[in-house]
Structure 1
Amino acid sequence: MALTIEVARHAGVCYGVERALTLAAEAARESRGPVRTLGPLIHNPLVVSELEHAGVTVADRVEEVDAGTVIIRAHGVVPQVVDRAERLGLTVLDATCPYVKKVHMAAEKLVREGYQLIVVGESGHPEVEGIMGHADERARVVSTPADLDAIELSRKVGVVVQTTQTVGALSSIVSALLSRTSELRVINTICAATQERQDSAAELAARVDVMIVVGGKNSGNTRRLAQICQMGCAHTHHIEDSSELEASWFTGVEHIGVTAGASTPAAHIDRAVEKIRALTEAR
Structure 2
Amino acid sequence: MEIILADKAGFCFGVKRAINTAFEAVMAGKVYCLGPLIHNPQEVDRLRKAGVETVDDFSTLKDGDSLIIRSHGVPPSILEQAKKQGLKIIDLTCPFVGKAQRHAEALSDEGYQVVVVGEKKHPEVQSIIGYAGKNAVVIENEQDVDDVKFQHRIGIVAQTTQSYSNFSEIVLKLLRISKELKVYNTICNSTTERQHAAKVLAKQVDVMLVVGGRNSANTSRLATICRQEGKPTHHIEVAGEILPEWFQGARRIGVTAGASTPDWVLNDVLERLRKNDISR
After TM superposition, the score normalised by the length of structure 1 is 0.95
Please point out which of 252, 256, 268 is paired with 2:253.
256
Find the partner of 2:214 among 214, 217, 225.
217
TM-aligned CA deviation for residue 236 of structure 1: 0.8
Within the candidate set 237, 241, 245, 1:240 is matched to 237
**Aligned match of 2:129:** 132
Asked whether the equivalents of residues 119 and 139 of structure 2 are also in contact (C-alpha less than 8 Å), the reply is yes
Structure 1 residue 254 displacement after superposition: 1.3
Distance 1:89 1:71 in 2: 13
Q: What CA deviation, in whole Å up to 9, does each residue of 1:168-225 have, x standing for no partner?
A: 1111111111121110111100001000000000000111111100000000100000
- 1:52 aligned residue (45, 48, 52): 48
In structure 1, the partner of 2:7 is 9
Whole-angstrom CA distance in 2 between matches of 1:277 and 1:148 = 46
Cα deviation for residue 13 of structure 1 reads: 0.6
Query: Once the two structures are aligned, what percentage of the paired residues are identical?
Result: 46
Q: Which residue of 2 aligns with 1:106?
A: 103
Equivalent residue letter for 1:5: I
Q: Tell me if structure 1 keeps the 8 A contact 2:206–2:250.
A: yes
**1: CA distance, partners of 2:38 / 2:278:** 34
Q: For 1:188 and 1:281, how far apart are their aligned partners in 2?
A: 41
Cα drift, residue 277 of structure 1: 2.2
Q: Which amino acid aligns with 2:186?
A: T
**TM-score normalised per structure 2:** 0.96
Q: Deviations over 1:224-277 (max 9, x none)?
A: 000001122432100001110112222222111100000001111111001112
Name the aligned partner's letter for residue 56 of structure 2: D
State the Cα deviation string for residues 14-33 of structure 1 (Å, max 9, x = none): 11111110111001112x3x
AA matched with 1:49 = D
Q: Specify every segment of 5 or more residues in structure 2 that has no aligned partner in the other structure, as ranges.
A: none
Structure 1 runs (4+) deviating above 6 angstroms are none
Q: Could you tell me which residue of structure 1 aligns to residue 19 of structure 2?
A: 21
Maintained 8 Å contact 2:202/2:231: no
Q: Whole-Å Cα distance in 2 between the matches of residues 235 and 150 of structure 1?
A: 34
Q: Distance in 1 between matches of 2:278 and 2:88?
A: 51
**Aligned mates of 2:278, 2:46 — CA distance in 1:** 30
Of 210, 224, 228, which aligns to 2:225? 228
Does the aligned pair in 1 maintain the 2:58–2:82 contact within 8 Å?
Answer: yes
167, 186, 208: which one aligns with 2:164: 167
Distance 2:224 2:46 in 1: 27
CA RMSD of aligned residues (A): 1.3
